[in-house]
Amino acid sequence: MSRSVFGNYFIVSTWGESHGRGIGAVVDGCPAGLSLSPEDIQRYLDRRRPGQSRYTTARKEGDQVEILSGVFEGRTTGTPISLLVPNLDQRSRDYGNIAYSYRPGHADYTFDQKYGFRDYRGGGRSSGRETIGRVAAGAIAAKILGELGIEFTTYTKSIGPVSIETLDRKEISNNPFYMPDAQAAKKAGEYLESCMAEHDSAGGIIECRINGVPAGLGDPVFGKLDAMLAQAVMSIGAVKAVEIGEGIQAASLKGSDDNDGFSVVNGTVTKTSNHAGGIMGGISDGSEIVLRAAVKPTSSISQPQQTITQDHENITLVVKGRHDPVIVPRAVVVVESMCAITLVDALLSNMSSRMDHIRSFYKK
């Protein structure tokens, strides 16, 4: 399945443009009997809401989710859950040269090449607002995982050149960057101030740690859990790299440093290290899953940039309006959502992998 549909068992279909009627998602294959309220979803959406600090856009989006189907008397029914977040700002306006020219770093040119024309209002389908559908669906996935004791710690690992040096979980929600290191957050703020002064933008790295994942999720070969996570996370707009465990560093390690040994401690299987990031041969091993995503700097900057119009004239473009100097903090919950959706898909798939499990399920 490709395009705007993701997953084989927990199937998420998203839709909507930046300045259309709204953004939505349909979740098909959600198990019946899950307690679910709009608040469960709203809590996730609020984590990606702009206007939370001076480092994110001042636009008031105030995205409110409505559940249109699939929930009856507070519980999921097993049928498709339709989620709608109306766009508050659908005013027609003057999009000026945006309508006719190709913004560097954006998908304007490629959409025109593929489709022959494009919805140029605010980026259309390639707007960051597209991620609302992912987060709405991800909140449902995370709720399922939560009931099984699977928990996420997702945070900003770096902004521009500023990296965290500690991992203080309690600090994550204390700063506008979702960094688990108060000192790094302070420096990141200073770095962003300098970017803003230069009409420039920054990128960063998001790290997602998932605990409580049972061993056995994921399939050999193409359906490896890390492969599905890679698709899921790389499909987020500005992500340019995905790493599992040691990630790119693994390439320069020696086997004796990278291999994780096993040990039985007090009757429990443990690993002596976790360079693999919780996935071996594409299947979860029961230890912490560790994934990182590299996010490029915000494409919209208010510096003059060289580009062309759709009529192939060379121009200098200045993108107006206020834009997030960094999108990393808002993308933290998007990465978490995509990981949650992927994990639920693997979780449901895995239930039928053994004949003894099938027998005991059906012959009770």
Annotated binding-site ranges for NADP(+): 48, 54
* Interface positions, 230-269, toward its own copies (CB under 8 A): 230-235, 237, 240-264, 267, 269
- Interface residue with its own copies among 37, 51, 147, 322 (CB under 8 A) is 147
Stretch that binds its own copies, among 47-55, 116-124, 167-175, 329-337 (CB under 8 A): 116-124
| Closer to its own copies by Cβ: residue 47 or 157 | 157
Tokens, residue 47: 């984590």
d(CA 145, CA 132): 20
Stretch that binds its own copies, among 31-39, 46-54, 170-178, 181-189 (CB under 8 A): 31-39
Q: Residue with structure tokens 């994921």?
A: 218
d(CA 181, CA 317): 38
Residue 131: burial class (beta carbons within 10 Å; 0-12, 13-18, 19+): buried
CB atoms within 10 A of CB 316: 10
Length in residues, the chain: 364
Q: How far is the CB of 189 from its own copies (least distance, A)?
A: 16
Does the footprint of its own copies cover residue 161 (CB under 8 A)? yes
* Interface positions, 285-314, toward its own copies (CB under 8 A): 285-286, 294-301, 303, 305-308, 312-314
- Interface residue with its own copies among 39, 91, 114, 197 (CB under 8 A) is 114
CB-CB contact of 12 with 5 (8 Å): yes
| Closer to its own copies by Cβ: residue 172 or 341 | 341
Q: Residue with structure tokens 């119009």?
A: 309
Does the footprint of its own copies cover residue 226 (CB under 8 A)? yes
Backbone φ and ψ for 353, nearest 5 degrees, come out as -85, -10
| Closer to its own copies by Cβ: residue 43 or 247 | 247
Does the footprint of its own copies cover residue 185 (CB under 8 A)? no
Residue 335: burial class (beta carbons within 10 Å; 0-12, 13-18, 19+): buried
- Interface residue with its own copies among 45, 65, 81, 172 (CB under 8 A) is 81
Question: Quick one: how far is CA 207 from the chain centroid?
Answer: 11
d(CA 153, CA 211): 8
Q: How far is the CB of 19 from its own copies (least distance, A)?
A: 9
Does the footprint of its own copies cover residue 211 (CB under 8 A)? no
d(CA 3, CA 352): 27
Q: How far is the CB of 240 from its own copies (least distance, A)?
A: 4
Does the footprint of its own copies cover residue 38 (CB under 8 A)? no
Q: How far is the CB of 212 from its own copies (least distance, A)?
A: 10
Count of residues near its own copies by CB under 8 A: 169
| Closer to its own copies by Cβ: residue 144 or 333 | 144
Does the footprint of its own copies cover residue 138 (CB under 8 A)? no
Rg value, the chain, Cα: 22
* Interface positions, 40-59, toward its own copies (CB under 8 A): none
Q: How many CA atoms lie within 13 A of 327 on its CB side?
A: 22
Does the footprint of its own copies cover residue 74 (CB under 8 A)? no
